[in-house]
Amino acid sequence: MVDVSEKPHSFRTAIAAGKIKIKRATANAISRNRIGKGNIFATAQIAGIQAAKRASELIPLCHPLPLSNVEIDFEMKNGVVSANCTARTTAQTGVEMEALAGVAIALLTIYDMCKAIDKEMEISGVRLVKKEKRLV
């Protein structure tokens, strides 16, 4: 684990993004809320937030952080669901892993909820889009 005890606390934000390619029929089922497991986006949002909050339990040597906010949002267009996760904290280390965990688990949740009707889904492009730090 990296020693951050001498670093000052700062306000930190990280934004991660990713996408999942789905069939047109799957997109239609999602739009009509006809997925057997329930509301895809509400469930994926909660799962992503939980993952961000538990990133230090999932990733060895990742510092546990007091998250002040996690937001997950989705856009569905042309057979692709794009997801973004914004995580914020005031801490001595960055919040990138929390944002990445949030978006990855949100996409995996969509995959899990739709796998019965779409065997060809593809998750891709999970990446850190932006990170900011400013002194408190």
In order, the DSSP letters of 16-79 are EEEEEE--HHHHHHHHTT--TT--HHHHHHHHHHHHHHTHHHHSTTPPP--EEEEEEEEEEETT
User: What confidence tens digit (pLDDT) does each residue in 57-69 have?
Assistant: 999 999 999 999 9
Share of the chain above pLDDT 90, in %: 99
Q: Which residue has the tokens 């400013």?
A: 134
Res 42: pLDDT: 97
Q: Per-residue pLDDT averaged across 103-116, rounded?
A: 98
Domains and CATH numbers, the chain: 10-135 (3.30.70.640)
Q: Per-residue pLDDT averaged across 22-34, rounded?
A: 95
Taking residue 39's Cβ as centre, other Cβ atoms within 10 Å add up to: 12
Q: Per-residue pLDDT averaged across 11-39, rounded?
A: 96
Res 27: pLDDT: 96
Res 83: pLDDT: 98
Mean pLDDT of the residues in the chain: 96
* Per-residue pLDDT band at 87 (split at 50, 70, 90): very high
Q: Per-residue pLDDT averaged across 42-47, rounded?
A: 98
Give the bridge partners for 77, in sequence order.
Answer: 80
Tokens at 61, concatenated: 């040597």
Active site residues: 112
pLDDT at residue 1 tops 90: no
pLDDT at residue 136 tops 90: no
